Structure 1
């Protein structure tokens, strides 16, 4: 049974195993800050445990290759046939090698291995292919080198060789290898087949990303399987009680609606780490810092996700990112949705969404419509006569001219209006207009200069807006979509990866009763707006709370791809994929000796409500 065909196939698959391990080593080197806290022993175990996922991915991708190599009939050692096998081998494995190399850098942006969201942003990647290759040429070069070496050292047939002619033995051999491949794909004999969450068995949990490989996570994302339902609570009454959620809280408000304008500004990649007002004056945002002295800047605010595509559902609909794929591209994207646009339209508001990137980027146009926003403005809607002059050459319109465009556009709107503005220029590759080169501090990270420029654009926006008739009658809410690259150790932990600024500002009002120390999150924006405007609605989801509510210290719910976290001022609670519960102190995220009262039940209630709501398409209680 063990002839040259079998030996060659095993050597070739073994070569792939070596390549995967070298790619993991490269991934570790490029993202060392994420794994630096792990002990040498646990790091080594993560590498070894990664073999389990490598076996699975290689077996899935190369199942046809195994079949063709051990086909029971014909001469599989024929030189022409062997050349065909080699071409097949290279062509089927090259795309997954490319994905693994891309993740070396992409992981810095999303905090986890790529899943099927890569397929959903193919159009965006193709639009930006030129600048991506320019800025990440080393990945392209690395891909070419790896594929070249793979072809170069590919085990070839050498004389003398043995050939099994007995068809029955060859068939039995193929069946045996097929059984081994199935076992590898399942990850062993355990009850449940191997899945992404199985990687998170070591401390710190971040090592799970090291054990995984990108081909495996991508393949597992195909088909977008439904969330696994949880049944921690027997009925809805006990579930709502655990969340401390009153369904009537925002539907029985007294008095008349306020009829003021609301502008939500989502700043691209403005991590709290870059904001001087949150770091003893050390930062790159002098205007945002000055605005914070006139409003309320929450010192413990969190994004509910790690990507731009995850921010919009949290901000506009109160849906946190608590699953592997973004809501916008998930299997639940067609679910019933009541966004801020829906609620405010019903209250007589004009609603709009502005983003200077190409129309359709990250599905923002479709999602904003789902959230009830009437008008979407993208690059295609920017004045044609100014488009070429103000285009950044890569993604869209530079922030300064685009924000000026928005300020004047809002003046044309009937009042009251609700507008969401998503900035652009502090996105990779962090382009700054030529006339501003050298004006803003370079800092230690490539993003810092563009943060300074975006902050300047924000200053000019408010300068123009302050001269408009709608300005003094407008509530502004500023936040960031997600964090970005980090150099400050204080932000390099599970909580730091989600820390973003969140600011309430009104030109004619002070929010002196609000505690800026309270925990805040993106999903608080929806209930804060309806509370401030005194609008009655039963469309507020339980994942957020009004920041105007002085009876609570707030909370935030996060998901890192394996565990859910509930952040509260008196502690942090973790619920792992296998339902283990751990507790940490806040804000330093050190292990806590005792649990936070009621936090475990509250976190489990959030997870159960989220999953059952999406799977059953019943997020809203009236359904």
Structure 2
């Protein structure tokens, strides 16, 4: 069994295992802050535990190579055949090495290892490949050096040799090796095959991301089409009681509908960390800070996801990102959905969305329509004669000219209207117009200057809007799609990775005073708009609540890639993959002195509702 061909194969796979360990070390170095709470011993255990996932990924990717190496007929040690094997080995593994290198930086944006969402945004990546390579040149260089070193150290046959053993023995060996390969891919003899959640066994839980490798999570994400149902509650009545949800709450408003305009502004990457009004004046958003003094700013607001593509379903439809794949690209994207646009159109509103990127980017245009937004304004709709002048060279139209365009377009709308506006200049590579370079503070992170520019563009938007006839009759809701890179230790925690601003501002009305410390989230926005406008509906989902409801204590829910997390004023509850609950104090995340059964039941109810109703396409089951 242990002839030259077999030993060569083991040495080659062993080289790959060493390379995966090196990639994990690089991943740790580039994302050290994420794992800074772990001691050296815990980090070492993560590396050791990670070998299990490395073996599984290597065996999946190299199954064909193993078959060719041990094929029972002919001389597998012939020089020409060995050269063929080398190319199969290198070319078969190079794409996955590239994925691991890319994830070194991509992890900072999404907070978890890449899964099959990468396959859903290949179009955007292809469109931006030039600028991405230019900006992340060091990753491209690292990939080239790794593959070059991999090829140079590829174990070769030291001296001419011939295959020994007859065909039957070699065939038997191949069958035995195939069994071992299946065993390795499966991860052992445990009941369930190895999956990403098995990596989260160490404390702190963030080490699970270090344990995993990106090829494994991508492969495991392929073909995932169904959420596993949960059965914590046996009836709809028990479920709704645990949710503390009444679908009829807004069906019969006490007051007459208010024909107010609504403008929802989603600020690209405006993490709470960058907002001065949330950090004792230390920030890069002077205009947003001034607006906060006149409006209602919630200090404990959370995004329901870590990516732009995850934010829109939460904000426009109250659908938080509670599964590994974004709703927009998931198998459930065609589910019945009553978005905010749908509800407002029925009330006579004109509805529109503005995003200065290329039409089709992240599927925003398609989802906006699914959410009832009748008109979509992307880069294609921008003025032809100004497009080349105002194009940022990367993603779309610079924020300053685009927001001016939006203000003018809104003036042409029939009131009342609802418009969603998504900015983009504070997106990597954080480009600002040449005439504004040097105008805004550079800060400590490369994003800071572009945050200052986007805030300036927002100031100019409001200056123009304030002169329009619709301005005094408009509720503005401002938030961010997700967080970004962090320099402030106060935000370098799991909760900090989801904290965004949420501001309500009405230039013509004084807003009801609500506790600014109340916990809020993206999924609260649809219910807040419905509540503010006094519109009758029984088609809101249970995940969000009006932030203007003083009787509701406020909460936020998110999925961190492994656990479901419910944030409430005094308690943070985690639901783990094994259905165990953990309780922590808010906001310091210290272990809670005692369980909070009501919070645990509420979290389980939200998870069961999301998974089961999403799978069955019965999100609004009381309407069926």
Same fold per TM (> 0.5)? yes
Asked whether the equivalents of residues 296 and 513 of structure 2 are also in contact (C-alpha less than 8 Å), the reply is: no
SS at match of 2:294: coil
State the Cα distance separating 1:544 from its structure 2 match.
0.4
Structure 1: how far apart are the matches of 2:130 and 2:565?
39
SS at match of 2:144: helix
TM-score (normalizing by structure 2): 0.99
State the Cα distance separating 1:172 from its structure 2 match.
1.1
Structure 2: how far apart are the matches of 1:252 and 1:45?
57
Asked whether the equivalents of residues 3 and 164 of structure 1 are also in contact (C-alpha less than 8 Å), the reply is: yes
Q: Using the TM superposition, name which of 118-127 and 498-507 deviates more.
A: 118-127
Summarize the alignment of residues 59-98 of structure 1 with structure 2, pairs less than 5 Å apart.
59-98=59-98
SS at match of 1:520: strand
State the Cα distance separating 1:542 from its structure 2 match.
0.1
Structure 2: how far apart are the matches of 1:76 and 1:259?
78
Q: Using the TM superposition, name which of 255-264 and 425-434 deviates more.
A: 255-264
Asked whether the equivalents of residues 77 and 162 of structure 2 are also in contact (C-alpha less than 8 Å), the reply is: no
Write out per-residue CA displacement over residues 119-151 of structure 1, whole angstroms, 9 at most, x where no aligned residue: 111111111111111111111111111111111
State the Cα distance separating 1:162 from its structure 2 match.
5.1
Summarize the alignment of residues 519-530 of structure 1 with structure 2, pairs less than 5 Å apart.
519-530=519-530
Alignment correspondent of 2:104: 104
Alignment correspondent of 1:442: 442
Alignment correspondent of 2:502: 502
Asked whether the equivalents of residues 247 and 539 of structure 2 are also in contact (C-alpha less than 8 Å), the reply is: no
Write out per-residue CA displacement over residues 46-94 of structure 1, whole angstroms, 9 at most, x where no aligned residue: 1110001101100110001111110111111111111111111111100
Q: Using the TM superposition, name which of 209-218 and 74-83 deviates more.
A: 74-83
Asked whether the equivalents of residues 229 and 608 of structure 1 are also in contact (C-alpha less than 8 Å), the reply is: yes
Summarize the alignment of residues 197-596 of structure 1 with structure 2, pairs less than 5 Å apart.
197-596=197-596
SS at match of 1:266: strand
Asked whether the equivalents of residues 46 and 210 of structure 1 are also in contact (C-alpha less than 8 Å), the reply is: yes
TM-score (normalizing by structure 1): 0.99
SS at match of 2:100: helix
CA RMSD of aligned residues (A): 0.9
SS at match of 1:598: helix
Structure 1: how far apart are the matches of 2:543 and 2:420?
20
Structure 1: how far apart are the matches of 2:224 and 2:460?
43
- The runs of 5 or more residues in structure 2 that have no matched partner are none
Asked whether the equivalents of residues 75 and 162 of structure 2 are also in contact (C-alpha less than 8 Å), the reply is: no
Alignment correspondent of 2:142: 142
Asked whether the equivalents of residues 90 and 151 of structure 1 are also in contact (C-alpha less than 8 Å), the reply is: yes
Asked whether the equivalents of residues 426 and 451 of structure 2 are also in contact (C-alpha less than 8 Å), the reply is: yes
Write out per-residue CA displacement over residues 407-459 of structure 1, whole angstroms, 9 at most, x where no aligned residue: 00000001110000000000000011111111100000000000000000000
SS at match of 1:510: coil
Structure 1: how far apart are the matches of 2:250 and 2:90?
59
Structure 2: how far apart are the matches of 1:569 and 1:273?
20
State the Cα distance separating 1:599 from its structure 2 match.
0.2
Q: Does residue 161 of structure 2 align to residue 161 of structure 1?
A: yes
Asked whether the equivalents of residues 518 and 553 of structure 1 are also in contact (C-alpha less than 8 Å), the reply is: yes
Alignment correspondent of 1:113: 113
Asked whether the equivalents of residues 224 and 330 of structure 1 are also in contact (C-alpha less than 8 Å), the reply is: no
Asked whether the equivalents of residues 332 and 615 of structure 1 are also in contact (C-alpha less than 8 Å), the reply is: yes
Alignment correspondent of 1:171: 171
Structure 2: how far apart are the matches of 1:59 and 1:225?
24
State the Cα distance separating 1:164 from its structure 2 match.
2.1
- The runs of 5 or more residues in structure 1 that have no matched partner are none
Structure 1: how far apart are the matches of 2:185 and 2:317?
38
Asked whether the equivalents of residues 328 and 363 of structure 1 are also in contact (C-alpha less than 8 Å), the reply is: yes
State the Cα distance separating 1:511 from its structure 2 match.
2.1
Write out per-residue CA displacement over residues 461-501 of structure 1, whole angstroms, 9 at most, x where no aligned residue: 00000000000000000000000000111101110000000
Structure 2: how far apart are the matches of 1:547 and 1:597?
24
State the Cα distance separating 1:596 from its structure 2 match.
2.8
State the Cα distance separating 1:251 from its structure 2 match.
1.2
State the Cα distance separating 1:160 from its structure 2 match.
5.0
Alignment correspondent of 2:20: 20
Write out per-residue CA displacement over residues 295-343 of structure 1, whole angstroms, 9 at most, x where no aligned residue: 0000000000000000000000100001111111111111111111111
SS at match of 1:176: helix
SS at match of 2:574: strand
Q: Does residue 38 of structure 2 align to residue 38 of structure 1?
A: yes
Structure 2: how far apart are the matches of 1:47 and 1:582?
25
State the Cα distance separating 1:118 from its structure 2 match.
1.0
Q: Using the TM superposition, name which of 415-424 and 155-164 deviates more.
A: 155-164
Asked whether the equivalents of residues 77 and 161 of structure 2 are also in contact (C-alpha less than 8 Å), the reply is: no
State the Cα distance separating 1:595 from its structure 2 match.
2.1
State the Cα distance separating 1:182 from its structure 2 match.
0.5
State the Cα distance separating 1:513 from its structure 2 match.
2.8
Write out per-residue CA displacement over residues 357-385 of structure 1, whole angstroms, 9 at most, x where no aligned residue: 01000010111011111011111110000
Asked whether the equivalents of residues 558 and 566 of structure 2 are also in contact (C-alpha less than 8 Å), the reply is: yes
Structure 2: how far apart are the matches of 1:332 and 1:170?
47
State the Cα distance separating 1:159 from its structure 2 match.
1.4
Write out per-residue CA displacement over residues 385-405 of structure 1, whole angstroms, 9 at most, x where no aligned residue: 000111111100000000000
Structure 2: how far apart are the matches of 1:509 and 1:596?
39
